């Protein structure tokens, strides 16, 4: 190199310094090798960096002379072992190397078959070799001592610049570390929902340090000693479900076992990394894996992990420290998540248990009744339960219409879905529509939010419409559409498809309501697909002792009583009573008696007067007869040919004789004595009423 070339080189040194000052460490090394290759007019220049993980000398950049122009090409994952090549010799001996005749150089590893001369110079930072500059020429005896001096000057300048840049990058890494912690802290304020906090943290770490994946592992409540992924970033659902580790298995399992973090700079070089998720990762780059325990107090809750491309050891150490801090910050949220999960599981278990109890409770075999009429009801329920047909249940108040509706539902394939009931008579007409069909926010004054109607709540299950006869005509049309189209339209909303089975009940004569114009004929036909008629309690008196026994057990347990016996005259009175309120009235009567009972035996004085006082019974009977006769006569024109006496008395005679014969097991002698007539008179009555 002559004096003119040296002057040019000094200018290039100035340009060199200027070009690399405002760059990163990585960029500076690339610009440096390009500039040095130009300055020395080499054909090839390579910048090697000492691998911090000890895998050798990695080629970072190659500067190449192409048609008198110099081109810089970055390289990755190309390593020269520390004990190979000229650059390996420079690293081991910590001194520059010049070779003018490479054909006989035992250290030379050719990157180009044209290379005749080579010069390599170490770059030091804080007394340690950081990089090696390697220059090649296609000319023999290319490099002189003067060239070496110039390159040494450049390498010294480069060393100082790189050291300063590294300090700046360290400070920037620390600033990033504190900024991430600050952002995570602000983002997690007043939020206990783990999924929300995790998502925010992942977004912050992607923006700040370009992480590729993140996971939270918690202990599986169904499998002791096993951790599974509950929150993830960068994984598919399938990959997430595969991420299961036993304590002591892989990196995650060992973090949990030892309560200690594990940070590995390169997953491809560590056998502990099992990749059980099966996530695809580029093998062409180094990926660091960080895993740290999540601890609340002294309790291990789980493990948090992240992945990112390895950059340098300082950043690697800072990220490990960062993850430890974040794991501590989210521990309280993880604890809340675990508690909520346990509570949810407990509620689900309770819900399943309640469902099992309901299914058991409403088994036909568990419904009380042995009378012929009730056995017919049970038979019908068994036949229709597992169909989707609409059912109409008729019966007086208190006969158990809702009980039978539930029996149908809980013995059907819809048993795991909702059973929703609504009493059409108990809700004002103005509110019934919104209760049934729901409404959308803003559809009317006061609609401050959406409301789901009972029909939609029953989707997939059964809707029980009690007292259907009291439904207004305007709503009957909308209900008809539900039955026909399987579709509802909330107030102010759009049509929605529903899958429901409708069971309706009434204590009224719907056919009569149709005749009076109070009930739609088309709706009646739609509801009356299957009809079940429940008998009043007075027509199933043989069931009364069974019901009494059940109610005594129920309310003795509920009210902490020990009722062992019921006196015979009490049982007789209860059987004789007509029960206008049916089973509901009987149940209330027994509950009252149990509450008032101070011994282990229910006595007559514990019954209401109208049931337990024979005189009251007589008066009540006479009053009822008088009322019936009065109403009948008021509606009659009282013509002489009406034979009014026979019309009124004959049904009474027939009923009395039938009941007494039934009670005396058709023993005519005993029946005559009970009736207070002789045997012949009884025979005449039997003949008169065709009862023989």
Q: What is the mean pLDDT of each run of 10 residues along the chain (692 residues)?
A: 52 65 82 90 93 91 90 89 93 92 78 83 94 92 89 89 90 92 87 88 94 95 90 95 95 96 94 93 90 93 96 93 93 87 76 69 79 92 92 94 93 91 88 87 74 90 94 91 89 88 94 93 93 94 92 92 91 91 93 93 90 58 74 69 72 83 81 82 81 70
The whole-angstrom separation of Cα 167 and Cα 187 is 30
Cα→Cα distances 13→28, 38, 132, 548, Å: 14, 11, 18, 109
Which pLDDT score, from 0 to 100, does residue 664 have? 81
Q: Supply 75's token pair.
A: 């390289």
Contact predicate 481/436, CB 8 Å: no
Compute the half-sphere exposure of residue 238: CA atoms within 13 Å on the CB side of its CA: 3
Q: Which tokens sit at 85?
A: 């090549």
Q: Which 3 state secondary structure label does DSSP give 677?
A: coil
Look at residue 64 and give its three-state secondary structure: strand
Distance of alpha carbon 61 from alpha carbon 27, whole angstroms:
10
d(C-alpha 450, C-alpha 442), whole Å: 8
The DSSP secondary-structure symbol of 292 reads: E
Per CATH, 3-169 and 190-342 having the same topology is answered: yes
Confidence (pLDDT) at 618: 47
Neighbours of 280 (CB within 10 A): 9
- What fold, for 622-689? Arc Repressor Mutant, subunit A (1.10.10)
Phi, psi of 306 (to 5 degrees): -140, 160
Alpha carbon distance 415, 361 (integer Å): 12
**Nearest CA among 611, 599, 618, 620 for reference residue 571:** 611
pLDDT value at residue 617: 47
Residue found under tokens 């970072």: 60
The domain at 3-169 falls in which architecture?
A: 2-Layer Sandwich (3.30)
Structure tokens that stand for 1 in this block? 């190199």
Name the CA dihedral angle for 536, 540, 545, 550, rounded to a multiple of 10 degrees: -50
- Cα–Cα distance measured from residue 437 to residue 454, given in angstroms and rounded to the nearest whole number: 7
What pLDDT was estimated at residue 19?
A: 65
Q: With the CA atoms of 91, 92, 96 and 97 taken in that order, what torsion angle do they form, in degrees rounded to the nearest 10?
A: -110
CA distance 49 to 61: 9
The CATH classification number of 364-535 equals: 3.40.50.300
DSSP string, 110-158: -SSTT--EEEEEEEEETTEEEEEEEEEESSTT---HHHHHHHHHHHHHH
Distance, CA of 262 to CA of 248 (rounded, Å):
12
Q: List Cβ neighbours of 592 (8 Å cut-off, separation of 6 or more).
A: 606, 608
Angle between helices 145-187 and 3-21 (to 10 degrees): 0
Taking the model in full, what pTM does it have?
A: 0.57
- The pairs formed by 344-348 with CB atoms below 8 angstroms and a separation of 24 or more are 345/221
Q: Among 669, 670, 660, 646, which Cα is nearest to 691's?
A: 660
Residue ranges per structural domain of the chain: 3-169, 190-342, 364-535, 538-606, 622-689
Hey, what CATH class is 538-606 in? mainly alpha
Burial class (CB in 10 A: 0-12, 13-18, 19+), 532: buried
Fold of 190-342: Beta-Lactamase (3.30.450)
pLDDT at residue number 15: 65
């Amino acid at each position: 190199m002559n004096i003119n070339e040296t002057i040019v080189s000094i200018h290039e040194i100035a340009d060199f310094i200027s070009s690399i000052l405002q760059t990163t460490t990585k960029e500076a090394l690339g610009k440096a090798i390009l500039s040095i290759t130009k300055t020395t007019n080499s054909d090839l220049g390579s910048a090697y960096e000492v691998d911090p993980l000890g895998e050798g000398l990695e080629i970072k950049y190659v500067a190449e002379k192409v048609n008198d122009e110099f081109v810089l090409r970055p390289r990755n994952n190309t390593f020269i072992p520390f004990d190979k090549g000229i650059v390996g010799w420079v690293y081991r001996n910590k001194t520059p190397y010049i070779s003018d005749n490479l054909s006989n150089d035992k250290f030379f590893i050719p990157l180009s078959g044209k290379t005749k001369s080579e010069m390599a110079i170490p770059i030091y930072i804080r007394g340690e070799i950081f990089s090696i500059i390697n220059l090649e020429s296609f000319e023999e005896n290319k490099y002189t001592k003067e060239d070496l001096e110039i390159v040494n000057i450049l390498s010294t300048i480069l060393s100082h610049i790189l050291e300063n840049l590294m300090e700046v990058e360290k400070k920037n890494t620390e600033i990033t570390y504190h900024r991430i912690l600050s952002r995570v802290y602000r983002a997690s304020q007043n939020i206990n929902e783990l999924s929300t906090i995790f998502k925010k943290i992942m977004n912050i770490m992607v923006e700040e340090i370009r992480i590729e994946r993140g996971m939270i592992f918690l202990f599986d409540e169904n499998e002791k000693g096993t951790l599974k992924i509950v929150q993830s970033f960068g994984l598919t659902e399938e990959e997430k479900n595969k991420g299961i580790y036993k304590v002591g298995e892989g990196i995650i399992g060992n973090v949990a076992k030892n309560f200690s973090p594990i940070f590995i700079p390169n997953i491809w070089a560590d056998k502990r990394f099992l990749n059980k998720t099966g996530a695809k990762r580029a093998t062409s780059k180094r990926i660091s894996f960080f895993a740290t325990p999540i601890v609340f107090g002294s309790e291990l809750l789980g493990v948090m992990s992240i992945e990112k491309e390895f950059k340098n050891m300082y950043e690697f150490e800072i990220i490990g420290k960062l993850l430890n801090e974040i794991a501590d910050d989210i521990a309280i949220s993880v604890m809340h998540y675990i508690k909520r999960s346990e509570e949810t599981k407990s509620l689900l278990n309770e819900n399943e248990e309640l469902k099992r109890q309901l299914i058991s409770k409403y088994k036909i075999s568990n419904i009380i009744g042995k009378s012929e009429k009730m056995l017919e009801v049970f038979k019908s329920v068994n036949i229709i339960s597992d169909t989707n047909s609409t059912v109409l249940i008729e019966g007086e108040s208190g006969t158990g219409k809702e009980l039978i509706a539930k029996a149908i539902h809980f013995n059907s394939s819809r048993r795991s879905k909702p059973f929703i009931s609504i009493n059409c008579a108990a809700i004002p007409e103005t509110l019934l529509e919104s209760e049934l069909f729901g409404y959308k926010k803003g559809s009317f004054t006061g609609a401050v939010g959406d409301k789901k109607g009972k029909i939609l709540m029953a989707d997939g299950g059964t809707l029980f419409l009690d007292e259907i006869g009291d439904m207004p005509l305007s709503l009957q049309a909308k209900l008809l559409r539900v039955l026909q189209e399987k579709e509802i339209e909330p107030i102010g909303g759009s049509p929605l498809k529903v899958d429901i089975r409708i069971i309706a009940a009434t204590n009224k004569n719907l056919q009569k309501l149709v005749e009076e114009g109070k009930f739609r004929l088309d709706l009646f036909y739609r509801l009356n697909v299957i009809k079940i008629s429940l008998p009043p309690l007075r027509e199933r008196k043989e069931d009364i002792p069974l019901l009494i026994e059940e109610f005594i057990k129920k309310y003795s347990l509920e009210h902490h009583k020990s009722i062992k016996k019921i006196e015979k005259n009490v049982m007789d009175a209860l059987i004789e009573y007509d029960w206008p309120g049916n089973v509901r009235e009987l149940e209330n009567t027994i509950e009252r008696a149990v509450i008032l009972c101070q011994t282990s035996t229910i006595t007559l004085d514990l019954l209401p007067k109208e049931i337990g006082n024979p005189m009251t019974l007589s008066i009540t009977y006479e009053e009822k007869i008088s009322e019936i006769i009065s109403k009948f006569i008021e509606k009659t024109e009282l013509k002489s040919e009406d034979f009014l006496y026979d019309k009124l008395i004959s049904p009474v005679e027939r009923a009395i004789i039938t009941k007494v014969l039934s009670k005396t097991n058709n023993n005519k002698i005993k029946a005559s004595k009970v009736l207070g007539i002789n045997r012949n008179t009884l025979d005449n009555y039997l003949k008169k009423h065709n009862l023989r």
